[in-house]
C-alpha cells in the first residue's frame, strides 16, 4: 500500500482567489481591525505622511479589506498617488468602498485599484517610492518571486515594508483555533486524509526573512517581532467572533448542536487560559523594512 505524502500543500493562485473572495467580508469585519494596528507601524516606517513629498507613488500590496489603503490615503501627501492591489476581486471592491470618501472633496486623494497577482505585478520598473504589504507575503505561493517583483517596481532608494505571522509560541490567536479543530475532529471520529496546507507561520523567523529580502535586490533590511492584540477582551467574545470564520462554520454545519456546544466550550476554555494570565489574546508579527539598492 502506497504511503500518503505528508508534504504540505501550497495553495495556487486560483485556489487563493476563491478562498479570499469567499472570506473577504468576514476578514474585513473580524480580523482587519486588529491588523490595522500593525498597518500604523508600517505606514510610519515608510515615511507616509502629509508633509513628506518624497513618498508620492505608493503600492499597497495585498490590500485586503482596505484598512491599510484607507490609512495610507488619509496620511499621504496631497499629491500622493496610491495603488491598491489584491488577488481577490471581492477584496478590491471592499477597498474601493472603504476609500471612496477619500477620493471626493475635500480630500481628493488619487487611488487606483488593481486585481492582480503579487507574483506578476503589472507595473513598469521603478514605479513606486514605497511598497506597503501587511499580512500578505506569507500567504502567496512564492514569496521570493514577490520580493523580486517588489524590488523591480520600487525606485532606487525606495522602501518596502512587510509584515507576516510571527512565532507560533507567541501567537495564541492563531494557534488556539486549529488546536480546537484538531481535537474535536479526533473526538468525533472525523478522519482527514488530506495533506496539510503549508502553515502561514512558515516565514516567521526574522533573521531568515531578512536574508531572503536582502537576496532580492535590497541593500539594507531591519527585522523584528511585534505583538498585535486581538479586539476580543474575554474568552466568550473570542469564541463567538471565531465561529463565524469559514473553516469553523463549515465544520460546525456538519455536526450536532451538542457537538457545536462542545466545540465552543473547548475553545472558551483554551482562550480563557490566556485571559486568566492577564494577557491579551493576539498574535506576534514579524516585520521587515528594506531599502532598495
Let me know: does 138 contact 82? Beta carbons within 8 Å: no
Let me know: does 293 contact 50? Beta carbons within 8 Å: no
- Separation of first and last alpha carbons in the chain: 53
Could you tell me the pTM of the whole model? 0.94
59 part of a folded domain: yes
- The total domain count for the chain is 1
Regions of the chain with pLDDT less than 50: 1-4
Distance between CA atoms of 215 and 165, rounded to whole angstroms? 21
Give the CATH number of the domain where residue 205 resides: 3.40.50.150
239 part of a folded domain: no
114 part of a folded domain: yes
99 part of a folded domain: yes
256 part of a folded domain: no
The parent domain of residue 55 ranges over 13-167+195-230+282-292
Distance between CA atoms of 127 and 205, rounded to whole angstroms? 30
277 part of a folded domain: no
Question: 261, 246, 180: which is closest to 30 by C-alpha?
Answer: 246
Distance between CA atoms of 245 and 257, rounded to whole angstroms? 18
Question: 126, 141, 139: which is closest to 293 by C-alpha?
Answer: 126
In sequence order, the β-bridge partners of residue 39 are none
108 part of a folded domain: yes
Distance between CA atoms of 107 and 243, rounded to whole angstroms? 38
If you compute the radius of gyration of the chain from its CA atoms, what whole number of angstroms results?
Answer: 20
121 part of a folded domain: yes
Amino acid at each position: 500500500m502506497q504511503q500518503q505524502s505528508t508534504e504540505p500543500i501550497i495553495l495556487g493562485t486560483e485556489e487563493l482567489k476563491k478562498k479570499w473572495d469567499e472570506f473577504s467580508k468576514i476578514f474585513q469585519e473580524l480580523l482587519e481591525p486588529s491588523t490595522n494596528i500593525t498597518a500604523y507601524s508600517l505606514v510610519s516606517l515608510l515615511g507616509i505622511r502629509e508633509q513628506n513629498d518624497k513618498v508620492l507613488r505608493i503600492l499597497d500590496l495585498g490590500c485586503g479589506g482596505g484598512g491599510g489603503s484607507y490609512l495610507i490615503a488619509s496620511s499621504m501627501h496631497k499629491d500622493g498617488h496610491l495603488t491598491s492591489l489584491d488577488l481577490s476581486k471581492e477584496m478590491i471592491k471592499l477597498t474601493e468602498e472603504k476609500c471612496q470618501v477619500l477620493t471626493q472633496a475635500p480630500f481628493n486623494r488619487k487611488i487606483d485599484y488593481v486585481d492582480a497577482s503579487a507574483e506578476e505585478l503589472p507595473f513598469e520598473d521603478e514605479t513606486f517610492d514605497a511598497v506597503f504589504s501587511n499580512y500578505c507575503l506569507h500567504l502567496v505561493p512564492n514569496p521570493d518571486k514577490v520580493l523580486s517583483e517588489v524590488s523591480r517596481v520600487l525606485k532606487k532608494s525606495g522602501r518596502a515594508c512587510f509584515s507576516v505571522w510571527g512565532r507560533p509560541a507567541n501567537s495564541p490567536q492563531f494557534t488556539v483555533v486549529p488546536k480546537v479543530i484538531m481535537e474535536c475532529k479526533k473526538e468525533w471520529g472525523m478522519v482527514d486524509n488530506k495533506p496539510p496546507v503549508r502553515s502561514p507561520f512558515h516565514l516567521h523567523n526574522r533573521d531568515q526573512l531578512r536574508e531572503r529580502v536582502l537576496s532580492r535586490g535590497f541593500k539594507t533590511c531591519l527585522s523584528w517581532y511585534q505583538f498585535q492584540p486581538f479586539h476580543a477582551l474575554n474568552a466568550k467574545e473570542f469564541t463567538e467572533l471565531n465561529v463565524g470564520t469559514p473553516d469553523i462554520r463549515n465544520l460546525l454545519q456538519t455536526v450536532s448542536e451538542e457537538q457545536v456546544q462542545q466545540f465552543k466550550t473547548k475553545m472558551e476554555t483554551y482562550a480563557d487560559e490566556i485571559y486568566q494570565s492577564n494577557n491579551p489574546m493576539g498574535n506576534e508579527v514579524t516585520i521587515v523594512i528594506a531599502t532598495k539598492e
